[in-house]
Each structure stands twice: as C-alpha cells, then as structure tokens.
A = this chain, B = another copy of it.
Amino acid sequence: MPMEPRLLKGFRDYLPEQMIARQSVINAIRNVYERYGFVPLDTPALEYTETLAGRAVYGTEGSGQIYTFQDRDNEWVSLRYDLTVPLSRVIALYKELPRPFRRYQVGPVWRVDKPGPGRYREFVQFDLDTVGCPDMLADAEILSAIHDVLLQLGLSRFRVRFSSRKVLNALIAFAGIDACRSHDVFRILDKLDRIGQKGIAEEMKGGRLDVSGDFIPGLGLSDSQVVRLLEFLNLPQPSRAIALDGLSQLFAGVANAGEGLDELSAIHEYLTALNIGDDQVAIDVSLARGLEYYTGPIFEAILLDAPEFGSIFGGGRYDGLVERFLGEKVPATGASIGVDRLLAAILKLGALELRPSTATVLVTVMDPQWRVEYQKITRELRQAGINTELYLGKEKGVGKQLQYANRQRIPIAVLLGADEAAQGIVSIKDLRVGSKAQAELKDRSTWLQARPGQFTVPRPQVVEAVRSILSG
C-alpha cells in the first residue's frame, strides 16, 4: 500500500508560480536594502530555548507559540520565533562586529499558531535592523528604506505609520494609570484597527463579548481614565506637524512627556529632509504594537487598497534586547516585513504577474534523429544568456508540445522536424501571437540556409532570431 503524501498541517509548499513571484519580491527588497548599505546575516533555525524564552521577550502569547523540543544531546532547543532575538545573540557574541551593525536577514520563522486562512506556522520574514546607533537618524533610515521598498514593488498607495512607546508611556501617566498595567493597555490599543474605539473602551473597562460570543475580561480602568485614553486616540493627525502640536498640548503637564515628543519630531525632520511626505509616512498616535520589547519609536504599514491584509511590516526600537546578554543597554532599531503576507497582498492587487516558468524559449523535440541538434541549439541559446528549456516530456507531437509551452507561458518555441529538415530550415514561433495566428519568422530566408542533402542547423541565426523576437 503506498503511503498518502501529506503536507504538515499549518504549513505550505511554494509551487513554482508562487515561488518565482516570492523570489522577485525578495530580490527587490534585498536590492533596496543593499542600496542602503545594509549587509546580510544568517543564523541557525534552531537556538537554545533559553535564548528565546522569557515573557519579557515575546510576552505570554508569543512565548507559548515557540516550537521547543529536546534534542539528541538532551538540550532544550527551539525553532526561531523571529529574526530579532537571534540578532541580539549575534551582537552579544561577536564583539568584532562594527557598530552600528546594519544588517538584513531573510528567512523562515516558526510559530505554533492556530492554522487558518492566511495563517501558517512557518513564514518568511525580511528584517532590517541597525544596532548601536541611538540617533533617530537610524529610525528615519529604516522608515525611508521601507518606503523605498514599497515604491520599488509598485505599491504607491500605502501608509507607513509611526509613534513611540515613550509617547504611550506619557499617555499612561496622563491618564493616571498604574505604570505596571502599561503592557496590558498597549496590547488592547494594538487591536484598534480590528475592534474600534468602542471595543477598546469596553476592554479597558469591564470587558467585551467578541464575535464568537466569548467574553474578554476588561482591565477595570475608570471612566475618567478611559475618557483620557479616547481623548488621546482622537487627536487630529492630518499631518505630522499637527499631530506633534496636538501631542505637546495634550501632554503639557505630564512629566517626561518630552522624550517621546523629541523622538517623533526628530524623525519628522529627517523624513522631511528626505522629501518623504505626510501622506506616505505619518504619525499615528494610536499605534501600539504587541511585542513587549519595544522601548522607543514603533512602526507599521498598511496598503491602502488592501487593508484587509493588516500590517505588512512592523518594527521599532528595542534598546533592551541585547542587554539580556551584555548587561548594558545597546541601542537598536529595526523592522520586519512579512514576505508571505506582502506577496499575497501584491498578488491580490495585481501588481505582479504570475508565471509558472523561468524559460523564455522551448526547444521542441519533434524527431529523435535530430536529438543531438536539439541539444546543441539549446546549449547555444543558453550560452547566449537566454533561459531555454529542452522539451523532455512524453508528447511526440509538436502540437502537444506547443500546448505545453503555452501552459507554461514560455513565449518562444524552436521547431525542427522532418518538414523543416527537408526544407533546410528551423522554425521559430512567437507563441504570444496566439495559438491560431502563430507566426513563423517572415524573413527566415535571410538567416536559413537550404543545403539539400547536407542540412546544417544554423544555430547562431536561431539565437539571432530569438533575440530579435525578444527585442520586439
């Protein structure tokens, strides 16, 4: 009995069509990040569990989602949950790395999440971080790079949003909330896009029934505290400058509120210098971010025409993460793009066309006696830098082989069969013209040589003909 082929629950295969698209997205991001002078890093999939563990890092929910097991040496090991904590380990381990260390890393991370539509247990993150620079220049650079990535991908209708955990800390003081409740408040604020201000107010007070009928207990804040939270959420923010004004008025009497405001206005000034406008990178005071390790600016972005995909990148400053290893704060800021989610949004928006093949030319196999010639033509096209597939399938008929080329969206086919050989020609078809109107090259008499009895395939001319079709 053969075994049933099964894909592990919560995981997915990337078949060629999707994978070609994913690679083009990854390459575009990589090009922008290298344009900024960031350098690549790779770390293992597995880490000692203690490196990742701890609620202070990922919070209760996050740390419950880490894949953990005992290996053959009886060590507790875990699949990485993100690329940020491995980076902090690398920073602590290799003292010789330059500071600031500006690195990018792309690779899968694993989380034991409940599988569902668009929710997988393995997904690719593309991270960009600068470690060792306390100046907001570093944060502005991250935002600028993300801005460039989205433009590069043909996604001009986006909104990057930023705020600062320090502004949220001022909010906690302003609303008279106990500082030890901060993370609970932030966690609820992070749901704003999903549950709205009404939902926020309920969760801050007595609790809320969610759509599935479950009761979500509230934080038990007072009415006056929640009024102040809502006053904050309702600050007008038509531009970065107006948002900053509103914040500084609201927090006029709050001790230390200046720190967060200084961060935001520094980033605002740098962005302005870079000609990055309010419509594309905006202050959004309601931004909270779920993770506990952020200590300063926080970032997010949505696609205006695909808001249902939520945040397609997120990040912020986390000056305390390396401290776990080194015992001293190390300034660090960065962002992570969810590549799979971004790709899904790009495909939904039609900003990228799916192709199942990387080949530009299919060399058909019409007559076994010409097999060696097919190989030689193929080789010559490849050597000319043209992606070329030699047909290796079962179909003997040229019609079926051309159908295959059409299905694979391979634009050009090379044909050499008994008829062609008798005439001393090779046919080159532009399949994009349509299957009925397939046009042979009209000027083939100029590049084909008919030498009865001693037919030689004019390979350089085949290459030339393909090039001329490609150049339009």
Contacts and interface: CB of A to CB of B under 8 A. Distances in A.
Interface in A286-307: none
Given A16-B39, A36-B389, A269-B372, 11 more contacts: A3-B50, A5-B93, A7-B44, A13-B43, A15-B94, A35-B385, A37-B358, A100-B393, A137-B375, A137-B390, A137-B392
A137 B12 CA distance: 32
Interface in A89-111: 89-90, 92-94, 97-100, 102-103, 108, 110
Interface stretch (A70-78, A209-217, A257-265): A70-78
A44 B122 contact: yes
Given A42-B14, A133-B393, A408-B98, A9 B73 contact: yes
A135 interface: yes
Contact of A16 (B103, B144, B270): B103
B19 A39 contact: yes
Contacts of A112: 71-72
20 contacts: A5-B90, A7-B89, A8-B48, A8-B77, A13-B44, A14-B42, A15-B97, A16-B39, A19-B40, A20-B39, A36-B382, A37-B389, A39-B356, A72-B112, A98-B404, A132-B394, A137-B375, A137-B390, A141-B390, A270-B372
Interface in A319-365: 323-327, 356-359, 362
B137 A358 contact: no
A69 to B, nearest CB: 4
Task: Categorize the interface residue count of chain A.
Answer: 35 or more
A51 to B, nearest CB: 7
**Total copies of this chain within the assembly:** 2
B45 A388 contact: no
Contacts of A23: 40
Nearest to A46: B8
Interface of A: 1-9, 11-16, 19-20, 22-23, 34-48, 50-51, 67, 69-73, 75, 77, 79, 89-90, 92-94, 97-100, 102-103, 108, 110, 112, 122, 130, 132-133, 135, 137-138, 140-141, 144, 148, 269-270, 273-275, 323-327, 356-359, 362, 371-372, 375-376, 379, 382, 385-390, 392-394, 404, 407-408, 410
Contacts of A133: 392-393
Contacts of A130: 392
A132 B393 contact: yes
A370 B376 CA distance: 61
Given A141-B390, A389-B102, A392-B133, A274 B379 contact: yes
Contacts of A100: 392-393
Contacts of A79: 45
Nearest to A328: B2
Nearest to A4: B325
Nearest to A115: B73
A90 B44 contact: no
Most chain B beta-carbon contacts within 10 A, residue among A5, A36, A48, A50: A5
Nearest to A379: B274
B7 A93 contact: yes
A431 B410 CA distance: 47
Contacts of A92: 5
A57 B112 CA distance: 29
B274 A48 contact: no
A72 B111 CA distance: 11
Contacts of A375: 137, 140, 270, 273-274
Contacts of A98: 356, 393, 404, 407-408
Contacts of A108: 45
B35 A388 contact: yes
Given A130-B392, A274-B375, A394-B99, A2 B324 contact: yes
Contacts of A40: 14, 16, 19-20, 23, 358
B13 A42 contact: yes
A87 B47 CA distance: 27
A164 to B, nearest CB: 19
